[in-house]
Amino acid sequence: DVKVTQSSRYLVKRTGEKVFLECVQDMDHENMFWYRQDPGLGLRLIYFSYDVKMKEKGDIPEGYSVSREKKERFSLILESASTNQTSMYLCASRWEQGNTGELFFGEGSRLTVL
């Protein structure tokens, strides 16, 4: 079974703090994604990585950066957290060679910024 593990299920941070959200997948998937999920808005893509050290902006990258130094790990960084970044963050991975649309998600990290 594919396993996507997000380091923290729940975080509470203060405005202006730097926040790291870590995601690790164990199936050697090439593609990894970071989404945020908000009520009524669905999942929105923040950043996407199609391989190590490769990244592309998604639809809402402002205020976020990412790092992919190893194939299995994709980190999301909030340089200076703001209250409008309070959300559920979901990491996903996909096997590019399989040419399928199946995304495997982690359990999510619920971030509250005070």
Apex CA 3: angle with CA 64 and CA 10, to 5°?
50
Is residue 78 at the binding interface for other proteins, with CB under 8 A as the rule? no
Which of 29, 36, 68, 94 forms a contact with other proteins (CB under 8 A)?
A: 94
Quick check: 8 binds other proteins (CB under 8 A)? no
| Maximal CA-CA distance, the chain | 42
Closest distance to other proteins from the beta carbon of 90 (Å): 6
Q: Let me know if 52 is exposed, middle or buried by CB neighbors in 10 A (0-12, 13-18, 19+).
A: middle
Nearer to other proteins, 32 or 78 (CB): 32
Site string for other proteins, 34-73 (x = CB under 8 A): -x---xxxxxxx--x-x-----x-x---------------
Neighbours of 21 (CB within 10 A): 21
Name the site residues for other proteins (rule: CB under 8 A). Answer: 31, 33, 35, 39-45, 48, 50, 56, 58, 90, 94, 96, 99-103, 105-108
